[in-house]
């Protein structure tokens, strides 16, 4: 937290201090001089971290610094904003796999005691957190619309969550019904709903030639005319565009 009106205890110079415990009441110049003379030892990252920790009787190390809206602590760590419990695991245990979660075995979201933290996969984390919405969704036997989560009716999303196939089919049917069908005014055009573009084909000598896909119907009709002139010659019947 920034403070103003602070004075150096060596030179009495007023200065604005961002991290008070680092400078220990000294301005930047006096702090640097003392460091060079060996009068001040640098503050370790662990000491800085523990200054914002309160050790409780139940063994939890509660974070006293800033928090995020989900209830976890937040701190600056290696020039980045990190969740305090993940930073604690890195400091006292070891590197954290970015694809894994750091689980609070004590269920205290502000706790940063490394003995109360465990590295789990996302699904393991959900199973170990029975009060969360994710746990309720993970253990439910049916989707929110009442379809059973059977092997045939369930697929796994890229994020590891479950989704209902019946609900997915209903969403697709609703999308197709709500979309107004479009009928071509010109020869050789067909509206493709999935891409929202006009697809152009032309038949010649018993073969179907794909011309392309266009967002504008008139542009698609002109493309068909060009292909007709090329394949069928100047006597080809063209679209009136």
Kindly tell me if the per-residue pLDDT of 21 is higher than 50: no
Structure confidence at residue 2 as a pLDDT band (50, 70, 90): very low
Across the range 33-42, mean pLDDT stands at 76
pLDDT confidence band for 238 (50 / 70 / 90): very high
Is the model's pTM score more than 0.75?
no
Q: What is the dihedral of CA 8, 14, 16, 18, to 10 degrees?
A: 10
* 163-184 mean pLDDT: 80
Q: Please check the confidence at residue 129 and state whether its pLDDT lies above 80.
A: no
What is the rounded average pLDDT of the residues 105-133?
83
Which percentage of the chain shows pLDDT scores above 70? Answer: 85
Q: Residue 137: its pLDDT value, please?
A: 67
Evaluate if residue 178 carries a pLDDT over 80. no
Dist. CA 218–CA 51, nearest whole Å:
70
Per-residue model confidence as pLDDT tens digits over 209-237: 999 999 999 999 999 999 999 999 998 99
Higher-pLDDT residue of 75, 180: 75
Q: Tell me how crowded residue 13 is: count the other CB atoms within 10 A of its CB.
A: 13
Q: Is 122 helix (H, G, I), strand (E, B) or coil?
A: helix
| pLDDT confidence of residue 33 | 83
Q: Quick one: average pLDDT of 43-56?
A: 84
Percent residues over pLDDT 90 in the chain: 34
Spatial distance between the Cα atoms of 28 and 209, rounded to a whole number of angstroms: 76
Q: Which residues pair with 73 in a beta bridge?
A: 67
Q: How far apart are CA 184 and CA 192, in angstroms?
A: 11
Query: Over the chain, what is the mean pLDDT?
Result: 83
Asked whether the predicted pLDDT for residue 100 surpasses 50, the reply is: yes
Q: What is the pLDDT of residue 17?
A: 52
Q: Pull the structure tokens for residue 241.
A: 């565009």
Decide if pLDDT at 200 tops 90: yes
Instruction: Examine the pLDDT at 192 and tell me if it is beyond 80.
Output: yes
């Amino acid at each position: 937290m920034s403070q103003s009106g602070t004075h150096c205890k060596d030179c009495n110079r007023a200065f604005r201090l961002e991290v008070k415990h680092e400078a220990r009441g000294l301005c930047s110049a006096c702090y640097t001089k003392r460091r060079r003379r060996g009068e001040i030892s640098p503050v370790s990252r662990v000491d800085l971290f523990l200054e914002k920790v309160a050790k409780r009787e139940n063994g939890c190390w509660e974070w006293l610094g800033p928090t995020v809206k989900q209830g976890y602590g937040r701190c600056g760590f290696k020039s980045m904003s990190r969740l305090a419990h993940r930073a604690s695991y890195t400091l006292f245990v070891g590197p954290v796999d970015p694809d894994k979660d750091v689980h609070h075995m004590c269920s205290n979201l502000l706790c940063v005691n490394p003995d109360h933290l465990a590295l789990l996969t996302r699904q393991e984390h959900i199973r170990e957190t029975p009060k969360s919405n994710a746990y309720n969704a993970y253990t439910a036997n049916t989707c929110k619309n009442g379809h059973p989560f059977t092997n045939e009716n369930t697929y796994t999303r890229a994020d590891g969550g479950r989704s209902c196939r019946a609900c997915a089919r209903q969403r697709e049917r609703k999308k197709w019904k709500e979309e107004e069908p479009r009928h071509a005014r010109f020869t050789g055009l067909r509206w493709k709903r999935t891409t929202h573009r006009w697809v152009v084909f032309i038949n010649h000598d018993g073969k179907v030639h794909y011309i392309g896909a266009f967002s504008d119907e008139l542009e698609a009709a002109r493309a068909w005319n060009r292909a007709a002139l090329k394949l069928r010659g100047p006597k080809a019947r063209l679209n009136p565009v």
